[in-house]
A and B are shown apart, each in its own frame.
Chain A
Amino acid sequence: MTLLDYAQTQIIPADLEITDFKGVSVICERLHEMGLHRGQKIRLIGRAPLKGPLIVQFGTSFLALRAEEAECTLIQAQ
């Protein structure tokens, strides 16, 4: 399931694990550069109002991801 699907259908906040990346390659590359990788444990903390960016925490980092970017991130619930 993509991170976006999860955020739209399940309860937030939630602890998740990244399984893979797919889609637009430059977005996947930038997601990596931001420090995300397969097996990374992340916490979906919330979403900005008006269906804005998703807020994700991993380790000591906080990241805001737009819908298009969250769509490239595949996750599974922990």
Chain B
Amino acid sequence: MHFDSSTVKTSSVALVGAPNSGKTTLYNWLTGSNFKTVNYPGATVEYSLGRLASHLRTADEEILWVMDTPGTYSLHPKSADEEVTIKALYENPELGRVKSVVVVVDGTQMSRHLQLAQQVRETGFPMVIALTMSDLLRKQGIHPNLSLLEKEFQCPVISFDGLLGGGLRELVQAIRELKPQPQVRKPVPWGFEAQDRKIQDCDELAKLVLNQKSEQGQSRLQEVVKSTQLLDRYFLHPIFGLLLFVLIMTALFTSIFWLAAPLMDIVDSFFGDLNSVVSAWAPGSLWTDFLANGVVSSFGAVLVFVPQIFVLFLGIGILESTGYLARAATLIDRPFSLVGMSGRSFVPVLSGFACAVPAMIATRNISSSRDRWITTFIIPLMTCSARLPVYALLLAFVFKGQPAWKAGLTLATLYFAAGFVGAIAAAIVNRFLPAGQNSFFMMELPLYRRPRLQVLLRQALTRTMSYVKRAGPPIFIFAGIMWAAATFPNYQMEDSQQKLEQSYAGQLGHLLEPLVEPMGVDWRVGIGLVSAFAAREVFVSSLAITFNIVDSDEDSVQRNLLEQMATAVNRHGEKIFTLGSVVGLLVFFMIALQCMSTVAVAAREMGSIRFALIQLVVFNLVAYSLAVAIVQTFKALGIS
């Protein structure tokens, strides 16, 4: 059979639009993927590429690359994420120059979003306008005059419903029918006067298209913003607004403890049972010992905290999808600007409580490079989810047998304390950094939206699973290493305490002891601290191995570990886990930078290895010194 390669069409289309206009939602429909959509302007900071979903192709061979880009208000970029968009259009590493563009225009924000369409028009890219949020317009009985828009822009205009996907096929067809353009121009700035005039024109045009010429038409469109106006009266109120902000953040951080508690019990007893089952296979054999006390205990000790991480992701997800984050950023702009950042730093800093890596990438939305520098510098101080297992274990130890709200409130305090430490760090850096150019805030406040529970749960689950996948391998590898190091060379020895003392881990630990002794802990904890540089949560699993060596009939991995910690003594017979040493450990983990992925991303995002190294050295030195100072003060005061 003759195969004509020219029938295989390869083309590409980029979705370009203002922040929050619904690009990612449209992208998900077009490619059949499941990227998270967020009701915050500037959530997408990296372009993504996907092939047209198979059910939308005319032939199996058709290849249409669809590209989602970071939101941009114009083709004259003013922040790093907007630059990503321009680069992705003109000199895309995978596609070269894209063939065509879909300008995504939010139907409820038409007057503002049309100017971008105008700019794209001037570059000569073959284009289609997709009018999103058409469901919201329809609900108010507004039927946009699409042919008027088509006439003005000389391109197809398709109305699209992001909730149900209505208009998808028409849009794909319109993209297919675009005529390729051999040449496109770079965007040319309009200049002040021309820009002002063009925006007035867009405003007028939008009014015509949306039938806004009559009083009645206008009041219809205003219905769309009614509830937002009402809610903002409280959320942005000078007094209630701040109160609600503190309340919401406290609720977020305390719920991590109490909301997750029942789930944690289930996970914990599951691993406890698993441990006994595995131990019973062949009591006394090396393999059973490895599986039960090495693998199962290590995973059990860390995975107990997965429900908490899920609750945290869920909470952040709720704030993202309702539209509250932009309000929070507005409320916090003033306090943040005192330490050299802006309200735009709020979302990256808040994401830092989940994980520093995406948080650092999210700083691209900050337009001033100085603000961005400071924000990236302090992000590793935020309580990322890898610290949670460590904090939770230490707090469970301190508040053993006491009501859950105490530990919950202390955990919330720790989260706020991270913010406080971050503020101090930012203030110090702000002092020494040379003054920069103008930084601007200018934040669009999106309309409030009701989040859909199903979407929220799925997104939180996806993020939690990716956490587990990331944390899994280091836990497994270190579980193996730790177990072997703690078992050999004298694996046949009867006295387990002595066996550990003389093992390889014990020998290494004794070398480390002078370094960790000032922190009030012994070599076993020292090994945990060192292994935490592989991943913070490995600290917990490493304790599970070094302290859990003595077999016991507890039905829960965590309770067993807590029991061991309570009775553990160093070689002078003094208790290891005192209030002083636990506080010291908490402070150490709060500040220390123990995550190598963070170091790598910091170097890449800031384009400076020096930046990342300074961060690494400074944070760890400060963490160690502070921990020692605290432990020694507690000792001197006689508190134990």
Question: Could you tell me which A residues sit within 8 Å of B by CB distance?
Answer: 21, 24-40, 45-53, 55, 57, 59-66, 68-69
Contacts and interface: CB of A to CB of B under 8 A. Distances in A.
Contacts of B238: 46-49
B440 interface: yes
Interface centre among A27, A31, A34, A53 (most CB of B within 10 A): A53
Interface of B: 73-74, 76, 78, 108-109, 111-112, 115, 189, 192, 195-196, 199-200, 203, 221-222, 224-225, 228-229, 232, 236-239, 241-242, 326, 329-331, 333-335, 337, 342-343, 438, 440-447
B246 to A, nearest CB: 12
Contacts of A64: 326, 329-330, 333, 343, 441-445
B224 A60 contact: yes
Contacts of A40: 203
A55 B445 contact: yes
B442 A59 contact: no
Nearest to B192: A28
A59 B440 contact: no
Contacts of B330: 48, 52-53, 55, 64
Contacts of A31: 442
B333 A62 contact: no
A5 to B, nearest CB: 18
B252 to A, nearest CB: 20
Given A24-B438, A25-B192, A33-B74, A59 B331 contact: no
Interface centre among A25, A31, A38, A52 (most CB of B within 10 A): A52
A27 B112 CA distance: 16
B199 A32 contact: yes
Contacts of A27: 438, 440, 442
Given A29-B195, A69-B440, A49 B242 contact: yes
B241 A48 contact: yes
Nearest to B239: A49
A35 B440 contact: no
| Highest count of chain A CB atoms <10 Å: which of B78, B241, B329, B440 | B440
Contacts of B111: 35, 59
B251 to A, nearest CB: 20
Given A55-B232, A60-B221, A62-B228, A30 B239 contact: no
A53 B74 CA distance: 23
Contacts of A46: 236-238
Contacts of B326: 64
Nearest to B136: A60
Contacts of B335: 50
Contacts of B222: 60
Given A53-B333, A53-B343, A69 B441 contact: yes
Contacts of A68: 438, 440
Given A29-B195, A45-B229, 6 more contacts: A46-B238, A48-B236, A53-B330, A60-B222, A64-B330, A66-B441
A44 to B, nearest CB: 13
Contacts of A45: 229, 232, 236
A3 B605 CA distance: 36
A52 B333 contact: yes
A63 B445 CA distance: 6
Contacts of A51: 334
A32 B241 contact: no
B108 A34 contact: no
A30 B440 contact: yes
Q: Which 6 residue pairs across A and B have the least CB separation, nearest first? A: A35-B112, A62-B445, A52-B334, A33-B73, A64-B330, A37-B199
B306 to A, nearest CB: 37
A66 B442 CA distance: 7
B334 A69 contact: no
Nearest to A63: B444
A62 B438 contact: no
A34 B330 CA distance: 16
B76, B225, B239, B334: which has the most chain A beta carbons within 10 Å?
A: B334
Contacts of A55: 232, 236, 330, 445
A24 to B, nearest CB: 6
13 contacts: A21-B192, A32-B196, A33-B73, A33-B74, A35-B199, A45-B229, A46-B236, A48-B331, A52-B331, A53-B333, A53-B441, A61-B444, A69-B440
A65 B199 contact: no
B347 to A, nearest CB: 14
Given A37-B203, A48-B334, A30 B236 contact: no
Contacts of A65: 441-442
A62 B444 contact: yes
B504 to A, nearest CB: 57
A15 B545 CA distance: 68
B444 A50 contact: no
Given A45-B232, A51-B334, A60-B224, A30 B438 contact: no
Contacts of B109: 35, 60-61
Given A48-B331, A55-B232, A64-B330, A38 B444 contact: no
A30 B441 contact: no
A68 B337 CA distance: 12
Contacts of B331: 48-49, 52
